[in-house]
Amino acid sequence: MAERGTSYGERGPLDPEGTVVVVGASLAGLRSAQALRRGGFRGSLTVVGAEPHLPYDRPPLSKQVLSGAWEPAKTQLADRASIDALGVHTLLGHRAVALDVEARSVELDDGGRIDADAVVVATGAIARHPYADQGVRVLRTLDDCIALRESILRAGEGCRVVIIGAGFIGSEVAATCAGLGCSVWVVEMLLVPMAPALGETIGAALGTLHARNGVELLTGVAVRAVERRDDRLVVSLGDRVLEADVVVAGVGVVPETGWLSSSGLTLENGVVCDEALFAADGIVAAGDLARWPFRGALTRIEHWQMAADMGEGAAAALLAGRASASPFVPVPYFWSDQYGMKIQMLGRPDPDDEVVVVDGALDDRFVALYRHGDLLSAAVALSRPRQLMAYRALLEAGGTFDEALALARG
């Protein structure tokens, strides 16, 4: 059990010789540990992870690792030597089961307890897993990826894959499976894929990537049942039945907050934080489960860059102390690689924002801007990375849509 520092104030700066426990050996958790050390924290630093693996990168799982282009070990974000060089004690394969907020004490699944001056909550999210008892797979963890790849290889040439959900993870898995020579169907309940995140105009344009690459996209269709029959899975859609060797559900995630149910923290679609990512005195949250005030509303964003930035922001908040911490005000950014094309977005649009294409065309490579009132709310690009990044500074400054159009013309 770690000894707690003696000079830590409830709302003041973190004692540089104190103790911190990071719950979640995730990207956000690792970035927070690294930022604490860079910021001058010299005390005891422990990272707890439910998985047995050192922190690893998730985006390659649906692409390079699933395709076989990368060995799983290549996804590591930090090897043992670099973790040791940080002076970080890791407890891997141990799940946190409770948090005492007042004592800042974390209870583990083996009965152990870690007391600390400060806690970083970074346990992320878990995949929704419908029809798990029928053998439907998900792709969230490294072990999920390895198991999915083994299933595809076991089915052999011409493997039939049905993917439930045409969001980013489902679409990436579809693209990778198509590249492996599989026959692929994607089933989506929405009439327009990715419309909640991108709006209908851009969602419809990106949905055409599937057909262009030999994948059948079925929209406005709900899965009625999945049944195992002998060595195959049967997916019932009402008026159509799809037979598959492999079925993958890409229907979103839920924040991993069950272990916090008795903590007293506010849990509403994640861990509710203030503008500086504090969930309580001495406790910050980062990554997929953190929900904080952004643009006037509590927001939770499940993207790689957000997790990385939040990990650093949470560490900065602890170092400064709750009374002095700066608000976390990022420019959201994400990307998705599908069928050899790169989708990128800066900002966070509302689904009903006006969309204006300023470069290229929606049936090819393009850049499009989102108007929210008089402001530029976001910019999205398909395989136009340099052009997209020109709008980052404008989004950081809260620029107007007219300024964005002037930049596009220039």
Amino acid identity at 115: D
Same domain for 25 and 113?
yes
Domain contains 335: no
Same domain for 264 and 120?
yes
What is the Cα–Cα distance from 334 to 352, expressed in whole angstroms?
A: 20
DSSP structure string for 350-369:
-TTSEEEEEEE-TTSSEEEE
Q: In sequence order, what are the beta bridge partners of 119?
A: 21, 283
Amino acid identity at 177: C
Domain contains 175: yes
Domain boundary, last residue among 234, 249, 264: 249
Same domain for 134 and 241?
yes
Q: What are phi and psi of 275, to 5 degrees?
A: -65, -20
Q: How far is CA 52 from CA 48, 49, 56, in A?
A: 10, 7, 11
Domain contains 165: yes
The closest alpha carbon to 21, from 131, 128, 99, belongs to 99
Domain contains 7: no
Q: Residue 11: its pLDDT value, please?
A: 82
Where residue 159 sits, what CATH number does that domain have?
3.50.50.60
How many separate domains does the chain show? 3
Q: In sequence order, what are the beta bridge partners of 86?
A: none
Q: Residue 21: its pLDDT value, please?
A: 98
pTM: 0.94
Same domain for 116 and 264?
yes
Domain contains 328: no
Pair 203, 219: CB distance under 8 Å: no
Same domain for 122 and 139?
no
Give the position of tokens 């999205």. Answer: 380
Per-residue exposure over 221-240, b if at least 16 CB sit within 10 Å of its own CB, e if not: bebeebeeeeeebbbebeee
Domain contains 334: no
Averaged pLDDT, groups of 10, the chain, 410 residues long: 43 95 98 98 98 97 98 97 97 98 97 97 98 97 98 96 98 98 98 95 97 97 95 94 98 98 98 98 98 95 97 98 97 97 96 96 97 97 96 97 96
Same domain for 231 and 264?
no
Domain contains 326: no
Same domain for 245 and 164?
yes
For residue 224, what is the DSSP state?
-
Domain contains 258: yes
What is the Cα–Cα distance from 132 to 94, expressed in whole angstroms?
A: 24
Same domain for 185 and 244?
yes
Helix pair 27-38, 304-320: axis angle to 10 deg:
40
Domain boundary, last residue among 249, 266, 301: 249
Q: Write down how long the chain is.
A: 410
Q: What is the dihedral of CA 163, 164, 169, 173, to 10 degrees?
A: 0
Where residue 368 sits, what CATH number does that domain have?
3.30.390.30
Q: How far is CA 94 from CA 44, 104, 108, 123, 316, in A?
A: 18, 18, 7, 12, 26
Same domain for 113 and 260?
yes
Same domain for 32 and 138?
no
Give the residue ranges of DSSP H helices in 156-265: 168-179, 195-212
Domain boundary, last residue among 270, 285, 320: 320
Same domain for 180 and 198?
yes
Same domain for 184 and 217?
yes
Residue 271 tokens, joined: 């861990």
Q: Residue 238: its pLDDT value, please?
A: 86
For 293, the domain range is 19-126+254-320
